Amino acid sequence: MTVRMTSPGEGEAFASGPVRFRILEDGAGVDGRFGVAECTIAPGWPGPPQHVHREHDETFFVVAGVVGFRCGADELVAEAGSLVTAPIGDPHTFFNADAERPATLLCSVTPERYLGYFRDLADLRPGPDGVLVPADVLEVMARYATDPYRP
């Protein structure tokens, strides 16, 4: 195996509504065991519908800004330097908790297959408010063993 590096400005970059993604590790360097994406989210972005993953774990490291997380009925506020883990089966969503500043987080997925979800989001058209339509997002999630959370 060869050690790999993704330098600043490198990696697959694309936008999906008010979120910019940059794939830092696409899984090729680690036999698909995990993937990492940098996500920059617009001020006040409300996030995807709360959901549950059936086949992968997800971890978020807040690099800049303040990111809120809903986990069932609970809510967490994660400042820069915080790490939040959403294991298989746990309901969750995240959102920019600051209405004035963007937030940046690193999202790791284990295994890497869920990176395809981020890529597929780029094909969706935002609604009139500039945010992706939740029903469209849930349809893409279903392709990646992810269900809407129903309390």
Helix or strand or coil: residue 46?
Answer: coil
C-alpha–C-alpha distance, residues 78 and 48, integer Å: 17
Task: Give percent of the chain above pLDDT 90.
Answer: 84
Per-domain residue ranges of the chain = 12-148
Evaluate if pTM is beyond 0.85. Answer: yes
Is the domain covering 12-148 a CATH 3.40.50.2000 domain? no
Average pLDDT over residues 111-136: 90
DSSP string, 123-148: TSPB-TTSSBPHHHHHHHHHTTTEEE
Contacts (Cβ under 8 Å, ≥6 apart) of 19? 39, 40, 41, 42, 45, 121
Average pLDDT over residues 94-108: 98
84 closest CA partner among 120, 47, 32:
47
User: For 41-91, what is each residue's pLDDT tens digit?
Assistant: 999 999 999 999 999 999 999 999 999 999 999 999 999 999 999 999 999
Is the pLDDT confidence value at 1 over 70? no
Question: DSSP character for 92?
Answer: B
